[in-house]
Amino acid sequence: METALATSNSGKWAGGKSPFNVSYGKLMMWYFLLSDSFTFGAFLISYGTIRFSQNVWVDHNAVFNAFPLMGDANLPLTFVSVMTFILIFSSVTMVLAVHEGHKMNQKGVEKWLLLTIIGGLAFLGCQAWEWTHLIMAEHNVLVNGVIEQWGTTTAHNPWGPHVMHNGEMVSTPGPVAFGGYFYGITGFHGFHVSIGVALNILMYIQTKQGVFQRRGHYEMVEKIGLYWHFVDLVWVFVFLCFYLI
């Protein structure tokens, strides 16, 4: 009887085997990601409700057609496609870091974590450029019979229907909700990416110091990997809602 009790208390949960066959830390990470997915889902559903309640919306091919150092070249969705590739590639490097951790290969974990960090920073840099370009670029907008110069902000949307004014084709104000939702949701996602980069930097430092090697496992890297894959997956839905639909 005593032997049976000792055996049952030796499990990770000290009360028996985990019902989900994962460690407590992994289970809590999954719970967090599930709750966070509800938050993103609510934001995107709210955006979709407003988007399809409007008779007119922005032309994505016109709004997102710029590319760094390319001047006035018309390259619809090219830059955001590069951003998406960078983030997806960083998810691949995260997988490889976790894989090397399973093999207890410290140098391999360091290499792939470093590439993941670089990918995350590159994505954030691209997002910063995109925001700056949208805010600072000036567009002719006809407001109450007067031409004004507008950037794309939470208060101004210069991407409304075009009309002729004094022989010139100019835009009229578009739905103001676009800017608020775009900067709010992409900014919220960017905040998650920033947290992921910070956590990966911490994992890199601890890996470099041999912390996980002494523990005998790299489960912490795997848990951060789950978070990073979640961030990448959410971007797929953000990309779909804002840049394609």
Long-range contacts at 189-196 (CB < 8 A, ≥ 24 apart): 189/40, 189/231, 189/234, 189/235, 189/238, 190/124, 190/127, 192/36, 192/231, 192/234, 193/87, 193/120, 193/123, 193/124, 193/231, 194/124, 195/227, 196/120, 196/224, 196/227, 196/228, 196/231
In this prediction, residue 19 carries a pLDDT of: 61
Q: What is the DSSP letter of 67?
A: -
In this prediction, residue 176 carries a pLDDT of: 92
Helices (H) and strands (E) counted in the chain, each on its own, are: 8, 4
In this prediction, residue 77 carries a pLDDT of: 92
Q: How far is CA 224 from CA 111, 195, 196, in A?
A: 16, 10, 8
Of residues 22 and 40, more confidence is placed in 40
Residues 133-168 have pLDDT tens digits of: 999 998 889 998 888 899 999 999 999 888 888 877
Report phi then psi at 146, rounded to 5: -120, 140
Q: For the domain covering 20-244, report its CATH number.
A: 1.20.120.80
- Parse the chain into domains and list their residue ranges: 20-244
In this prediction, residue 27 carries a pLDDT of: 86
76 vs 114: CA distance, rounded Å: 31
In this prediction, residue 196 carries a pLDDT of: 97
| Best CA proximity match to 177, nearest among 60, 63, 56 | 56
Residues 33-86 have pLDDT tens digits of: 999 999 999 999 999 999 999 888 999 899 999 999 887 788 999 999 999 999
Please state the pTM of the whole predicted model.
0.88
